Amino acid sequence: ELDKLRTLLYQKAASENRDKEEKTQLQLALKKSMKYYVNAEQWQTLESEQLKQDIKHLKAEISSLMAAMIKNSMENQQVKTRLRNSRKLHSKYLLLQNLTMTCPALATQEYRKELAAKDEKYRQLEVEYAKLKDRLHGQLKDYINVNKMIDDLKREAKRGSEVVQDRNGFLQQNLDKVTAEFEAVSKRMQTFEDRSATLEVELNEITAQFEIVSEQKLSVERVVDVLRQDLERTSAKLTDVTGKLGVVSLQHSQVADELKEMTKLHIDSEYDFHEKLTAVTKELSEVYAAKNEIEATAQALAEDKRVLQADVSEANKARSAVEEQMRSAASKAERDIKAKEAHITMLQKELLEQKELAKNHFDARNKVMSQINDLKNLLDREQTAHNMVQVELAEARRSTAEKIADFEDNITRLSAAKVNLINDKKALMEAMKDLREQLKGKEEALAALDAKFKDFLAESAQKQAALEAKLRNAQEAYKQLAEQHNTLKTKYAGLVKTSTDLNAAYKRSLAEVEGLKNEKEGHLEDIRRLQGVRIGLEGDIARLEQANVNANKAVEAGKARTSELEQAARVAAQDSASAVAALKEVIRQKIDRIEELRRDTALADERLRTVILRFGRLQRDYNISQELLRQESAARSSIELNLDELRSAYQSERKMRLEYERTEARLRRITDAKERAIAADAKARERKMALLDETLNREHVRLQAIAKIIESAG
């Protein structure tokens, strides 16, 4: 029990250390998420500032473009003015040409050269005008495209601001939830730690009490061993004395028979002697009365007198012989009485030995009762183990239901992801990547759940085999107890017969020794002293047994309290583990959501950069847009294929879930049948134990009655 308590303390300390480590990890994760949140806000601020700067630069470029357009329009007006002037000059040129028809040739040539130069200049101006017109048309197109791009950028910036605000609000809500959950879990952890501390204090107190009780029990066992050794020595002496008492009682019976015969012979001889003495006395009186009368005839009667004297001498010899025989018979009777007293002492010792045997039988019966109690405790432990198996089954079912609910939630999320894919294809591709990762995680979780279920089935089979082995051991122990009970019955029958014989012999010995009480007073005093010692030993043994019973009760109470504390510690550990697991799951989800938002923000940033970079490369962006459109078509087809794969995976997952539910129902039916069989066996075993207990109680009552009869006879 102390090793178990130490193991539980070690496990409790290890679980507390794990809880502390998990708490530290959760705090680090929370700090990390806060850091990510702060960095996200800083990044949002920097990006908004950068976007404002880009908008300012765009406005400046638009202003410069507007100024260039205004300048180009002014130049266009100037060119138009020059064209009008050139047309006027051309009309003048025609007029001059008409006028110079009559001018000299030299003046005409010079004028033609001047006109050719003006024509060349005019053509150059027309070319410049066409170029300027084309450039203005291009700048106008660029201006229109830039205005469209600015509008797109404004819409993207507005949308990005709304998305960032929504995500910031979502992050703030999640952060508040995580903070509240962390505070709640911290409070629960504190309560669990306080409860664990109180449980540890109570466990230390119980351990100290258990050690004190164990020390007391060891001291009591040492005293009991010493007393048992003394009792064994006394029992051995009592056995010897009882054997000698039996021999003496036998000799006493023989001497009593001989004494009866000698007494009868003595009475007969004494009666004959008295008759002869009476006759002789009468004859002497007659002789003395007739002496005076016979004096005359004395001589005649001298012969008769000698004859009578001879008869008297013979009678005296016979009397002396009878007296000698009486003295020898009296001495022999005294010797026989002493031998019979020793035999009586031996009989009394044998009686004490029989009492000790009866007491040993009572101790054996108590041992059998303790074995029965141990079997009952074993049955209770088996019932507890069975209840624990049921609790584990319930936990497995609950965890399975939670996994199924999580799987259904994941299916719902997949549907939402599908809608989001239709709305935003690029975000859908990223979400599909995340979804693939989640599906891989779910497949791994499902594989882990399947492995856990297989392990649980193997563990259930092992526990069932262990319970069956325990049941077989209990049946074998019950058979052994039945055999021991039969042997005890036979021994008890022999003891009853021996006790009856001893009672008869003892009554005969008491009847024979009734007249010799005065002479055996000293022996009786020794016997009383031995009985007083025996009674004192029995009282010490009874007190030690009571102390042992109290110690066992205290040990049982300590075991019960220890089991309660173990159950409370298991419940606290389970609550703590479930709370920590739930918090881990929530924090993991929050971290995943933060990572997803961070990826989305990075994606938005990348998109914004690409839009800004596309500012001066519209044609390439157009080609890139066509390429992206083609890629989007390919991605859409791949997404549809992935959706088909997801549908097939969902169908296979549904089939697996149905198979799992059928397996669980079959396992539940098998478990219920086994539970009913175990309960029926337990009830039958309890009925057998009750019958055995009742039989042993009756035997115990009979033994107590016999012991009381023997003590009253003693």
- For residues 417 and 428, the answer to whether their CB atoms sit within 8 Å is yes
Residue type, 707: A
Q: For residue 513, is it within any domain?
A: no
Q: For residue 521, is it within any domain?
A: no
- Which pLDDT value is given to residue 105? 47
Average pLDDT for 226-241: 68
Would you give the distance in Å from CA 169 to the centre of its chain? 44
Alpha carbons 127 and 109: distance in angstroms, whole number: 27
Alpha carbons 517 and 343: distance in angstroms, whole number: 14
Q: Retrieve residue 153's tokens.
A: 């950028």
Give the predicted TM-score (pTM) of the model: 0.24
- For residues 36 and 602, the answer to whether their CB atoms sit within 8 Å is no
Q: For residue 527, is it within any domain?
A: no
- For residues 273 and 318, the answer to whether their CB atoms sit within 8 Å is yes
pLDDT band (50, 70, 90) for residue 612: low
Q: Which domain holds residue 224?
A: 2-508+538-713
Average pLDDT for 619-640: 68
> Residue 181 above 50 pLDDT?
yes
CA-wise closest residue to 538 among 700, 352, 344, 714: 352
pLDDT band (50, 70, 90) for residue 103: very low
> Percent of the chain scored above 90 by pLDDT?
0
> Residue 18 above 80 pLDDT?
yes
Alpha carbons 592 and 329: distance in angstroms, whole number: 120
> Percent of the chain scored above 70 by pLDDT?
28
Q: What is the mean pLDDT of the chain?
A: 66
Count CB-CB contacts under 10 A for residue 430. 15
CA-wise closest residue to 524 among 378, 363, 341, 324: 341
Average pLDDT for 307-323: 60
CA-wise closest residue to 505 among 333, 700, 354, 703: 354
103 Rama sector, left if φ>0, alpha if ψ -120 to 50, beta otherwise:
beta
In angstroms, the Cα distances linking 221 to 73, 225, 395, 549 are 122, 6, 45, 12
- Which pLDDT value is given to residue 709? 78
pLDDT band (50, 70, 90) for residue 222: confident
Of residues 558 and 31, which shows the higher confidence score?
A: 31
Q: For residue 164, is it within any domain?
A: yes
> Residue 301 above 80 pLDDT?
no
Average pLDDT for 91-115: 57
Average pLDDT for 135-149: 68
Of residues 505 and 381, which shows the higher confidence score?
A: 381
- For residues 378 and 467, the answer to whether their CB atoms sit within 8 Å is no
Average pLDDT for 35-43: 77
Per-residue DSSP letter, 515:
G
Count CB-CB contacts under 10 A for residue 348. 24
Number of domains in the chain: 1
> Residue 437 above 60 pLDDT?
yes
Q: For residue 217, is it within any domain?
A: yes
Q: For residue 514, is it within any domain?
A: no
E-strand ranges in 96-185 read: none
Residue type, 177: K
Q: For residue 241, is it within any domain?
A: yes
In angstroms, the Cα distances linking 72 to 67, 132, 206 are 8, 8, 102
Q: For residue 528, is it within any domain?
A: no
- Reported for 49-53, long-range contacts at CB under 8 A and 24+ positions apart, including other chains, are 51/157, 51/160, 51/608
